[in-house]
Chain A
Amino acid sequence: EDQVTQSPEALRLQEGESSSLNCSYTVSGLRGLFWYRQDPGKGPEFLFTLYSAGEEKEKERLKATLTKKESFLHITAPKPEDSATYLCAVQAWDSSYKLIFGSGTRLLVRP
């Protein structure tokens, strides 16, 4: 069964303290891995799509990487406005285009 596990569930950082979020996945065949950011009461905001092992993508203070079993979202020198829930999702090479989501990592960055 296709599955996504994110860790940690929650993370508290001081402003400027870099860290990484983990997304482990089990999927029959990976079509794509997606990272989203979700603020309270809002819909998920797209961050990155990764398609193959070794791929990396960057955007401001965020960098996403992908291996055959997991993905990392690295946050460099975070700011309070980076506080949000970060969601990881996979899409499999089957007849469905559904996204399978992890439970997310709640990030709090304190000033």
Chain B
Amino acid sequence: KAGVTQTPRYLIKTRGQQVTLSCSPISGHRSVSWYQQTPGQGLQFLFEYFSETQRNKGNFPGRFSGRQFSNSRSEMNVSTLELGDSALYLCASSLDGEETQYFGPGTRLLVL
């Protein structure tokens, strides 16, 4: 069974731009969660989607948003990028959220 895939793997953007990251969950998984990983803050929860609905949201500004499609694929968007948004963005999928979450390889975003 194919694992979680994320595209693109690497991105370089400049301050003020916006970016969209994509995540395809494991087949059959309906919950997709997003996390931000930085050396200083570690792994922090951004939001979780289930059946095209955002169920939970972490403590991040409104510049961070996401959505989920009917095939469970998910995208997250960051608008008006700041230097501090440079991080590894990880997507994780699970059957329904309660079960074990499996992570993708991540998208490394560098904001210049």
Listed in ascending order, the chain A residues whose CB lies under 8 Å from chain B are 31-32, 34, 36, 41-46, 49, 87, 89, 91, 95-104
A95 to B90, CA, bound (A): 22
Listed in ascending order, the chain B residues whose CB lies under 8 Å from chain A are 4, 6, 31, 33, 35, 42-45, 48, 55-56, 58, 90, 92, 94, 97-98, 100-106, 108
Residue of B nearest to A44 (CB): B103
Q: Which residues of B contact A95 (CB under 8 A)?
A: 56
A34 to B102, CA, bound (A): 11
A-B interface pairs (CB < 8 A), number: 58
A103 to chain B, nearest CB (A): 5
Q: Which residues of B contact A34 (CB under 8 A)?
A: 100-101
- Decide yes or no: A46 and B90 within 8 Å by CB, A97-B33, A103-B42 being known contacts: no
A31 to B97, CA, bound (A): 11
Name which of A42, A44, A46, A97 has the most chain B CB atoms within 10 A of its CB. A97
Q: Which residues of B contact A103 (CB under 8 A)?
A: 42
Q: Are B56 and A98 in contact (CB under 8 A)?
A: yes
Q: Are A97 and B48 in contact (CB under 8 A)?
A: yes
Partner of A98, one of B4, B33, B42: B33
A103 to B44, CA, bound (A): 10
Q: Are B100 and A44 in contact (CB under 8 A)?
A: no
A34 to B94, CA, bound (A): 13
Q: Are B42 and A101 in contact (CB under 8 A)?
A: yes
Q: Are A97 and B103 in contact (CB under 8 A)?
A: no
A43 to B31, CA, bound (A): 17
- Decide yes or no: A43 and B42 within 8 Å by CB, A98-B48, A98-B56, A98-B58 being known contacts: no
Q: Are B56 and A42 in contact (CB under 8 A)?
A: no
